[in-house]
Amino acid sequence: MTEPAPSELSRLIVEGTPDAILYADRDGRIRLWNAGAERIFGFTAAEAVGQSLDLIVPERLRGRHWDGWDKTMASGLTRYGAGDLLAVPALHKDGRQLSIEFSIQLLKAPDGSVTGSAAILRDVTARFERDKALKLKVKELEAKVGKAG
Ligand code: HEM
């Protein structure tokens, strides 16, 4: 058995990991869409590559997303550079809303200009729904205790 070379290993991990890994160029067009992204969003790579990120950004959040995107592409700076997670709703191919969390990485050309952004992203819908139900329960209990006292 021969171990894959490090570059081959990186490629295999990016392509096959169950987390979504994607890359969009400066214009926000999807250029890389791995198996995890296919699994989470329901779009195949053939359907997603070449499309705008609007494919998965809910309409009501597009303004804020593109505003932040344009500033970051121009400045080369992001508030999320140290691995802080963006936690937002996203769209599945079937129209369902997902809750996702992701880190971003800016990719830069040798002259320092930003070529685009990669994201590593996870579907946290089940946890988000659980947290929402728990918060509601706490509120109900607080209301009951409040009434009793
Ligand atoms: C799919 C659903 C997505 C939604 C709803 C969304 C939403 C947002 C929002 C609300 C902001 C503003 C954040 C802030 O002001 O702190 C933002 C900024 C940004 N987003 Fe997205 N986004 C999505 C996907 C993505 C993806 C997949 C990438 C990368 C490939 C990305 C890259 C960025 C960048 C680079 C910024 C600017 C960050 C900064 O200001 O430092 N977004 N997005």
The topology (CATH level 3) of 6-124 is Beta-Lactamase (3.30.450)
**Among candidates 13, 73, 86, 16, which has minimal Cα distance to 45?**
16
Tokens of residue 20, six digits: 């979504």
Cα of 23 from ligand 1 centre, angstroms:
13
Rounded CA gap, 139 and 145, in Å? 10
> How many angstroms is it from 142 CA to the middle of ligand 1?
35
Write the pLDDT tens digit of every residue in 75-101. 999 999 888 999 999 999 999 999 999
Task: Decide: 61 and 89 in contact? Cβ < 8 Å.
Answer: yes
- The residue nearest atom 15 of ligand 1, judged by CA position, is 68
What stretches of 19-124 show up as alpha helix (H) in DSSP? 35-41, 45-48, 62-75
pLDDT higher than 90, residue 126: yes
* Model confidence at 29: pLDDT above 90: yes
If we measure between CA atoms, which residue out of 52, 51, 56, 12 comes closest to residue 34? 12
Distances in whole angstroms, Cα of residue 84 to Cα of each of 96, 118, 119, 142: 26, 14, 12, 32
pLDDT at 82: 87
Query: Is the distance from the beta carbon of residue 87 to the nearest atom of ligand 1 less than 6 Å?
Result: no
The answer, yes or no, to whether residue 149 has pLDDT greater than 60, is no
8 Å CB contact between 87 and 101: yes
> By percentage, how much of the chain surpasses pLDDT 70?
99
pLDDT at 140: 95
Q: Whose CA is nearest to atom 35 of ligand 1?
A: 69
- What are the φ and ψ backbone dihedral angles of 19, each rounded to 5 degrees? -75, 155
At 86 the three-state DSSP class reads strand
Residue 92 phi/psi, 5-degree rounding, is -90, 155
Identify the residue whose C-alpha is closest to ligand 1 atom 24.
57
* Structural domain spans, the chain: 6-124
Rounded Cα distance between 108 and 21, Å, is 18
Q: What is the mean pLDDT of residues 18-25?
A: 98
For the Cβ of 66 lying below 6 angstroms from any atom of ligand 1, the answer is: no
pLDDT of residue 105 exceeding 90, the answer is yes
Residues 63-72, mean pLDDT to the nearest whole number: 98
